[in-house]
Amino acid sequence: MTFDEMKQQMATKKGFLAALDQSGGSTPKALQGYGVADDAWTGDEEMFAEIHKMRCRIVTSPAFGSGGVIGAILFEKTMEGCLEDGSPIPELLSRRGVVPFLKVDMGMHDTENGVQLMKDMPRLNEMCARAKELGVFGTKMRSVIHEANQEGVAANVRQQMDFGLQILDNGLVPILEPEVSLKSETRPQAEAQLLAAMLDQLNRVPEGEHVMLKLTIPSEANLYRPLVEHPKVLRVVALSGGYGRDEACRELAKNEGMIASFSRALLEELRVQMDDAQFDQALETAIDEISYASAT
């Protein structure tokens, strides 16, 4: 796919984004859920090798190329990895009609003013250049809002846009992900503050350019409709945020125009011990259910 074809797909095609971007902090839990015991690997290199095998099994499954998955977010090591035949993973995804994205954030600072801001990204331009070279369409970066704090929420969204504009300058489309924690005791107020801050920050996006947004499914259905309909927003996708798949799909379906970008809710029933037929069936079921919830 060309860049313009990828952009058209992200703007209009039915389906969802698969989040396959677990990093060092979240990989052990993902492997445990997949059925890989902690004593099966020692050190980061072996850990990432195990998660790479899981991701390769997912993206080469017939179910993954069936049309329900329209995009996939990759960890840097996955982007740089190859399949057994030597094919770069972004190239395989593109051939299968799946738009590749790259997770670029380097983790977060401790909570201050009710939010966790992202750490600096000194390699951002370098990562964007490499991603573009490999045929990647866009990026994703995550920060977290824990409570309704006007100053903190504004700073969180402003930082997302600061990096987003830098990514746009590198010729990629950024997914901004200021996640509102499902555990927040002031979640509805935090979501309202996020909406106002994001609408303000979108004024900074140059005419003719677009960003994507990855947001927690809001407690008030269709709260983010102004973002879904905003001319500078290519697509609004939803994170599962700790919901199981059934609940995540049920909550997502209440929000017109939002599509899924699930990780745990996509992978929760996959196990390393499954044979290929069982694995493909479990993945197909998950993709079908998430695609259906994304079709509202």
What is the Cα–Cα distance from 233 to 140, expressed in whole angstroms?
14
Q: Which residues are catalytic?
A: 177, 214
Distance (Å, rounded) from C-alpha 135 to C-alpha 55? 18
Question: DSSP string covering the chain, please?
Answer: --HHHHHHHHHH-SSEEEEE---TTTHHHHHHHHT--GGG--HHHHHHHHHHHHHHHHHHSGGGGSSSEEEEEE-HHHHH-B-TTS-BHHHHHHHTT-EEEEE----BPPPBTTEEPBPP-TTHHHHHHHHHHTT--EEEEEEEE-S--HHHHHHHHHHHHHHHHHHHHTT-EEEEEEEEPTT-TTHHHHHHHHHHHHHHHGGGSPTT--EEEEEEPPSSTTTTHHHHT-TTEEEEEEE-TT--HHHHHHHHTTSTT-EEEESHHHHTT--TTS-HHHHHHHHHHHHHHHHHHHT-
d(CA 154, CA 12): 30
| C-beta separation of 293 from 253 below 8 A | yes
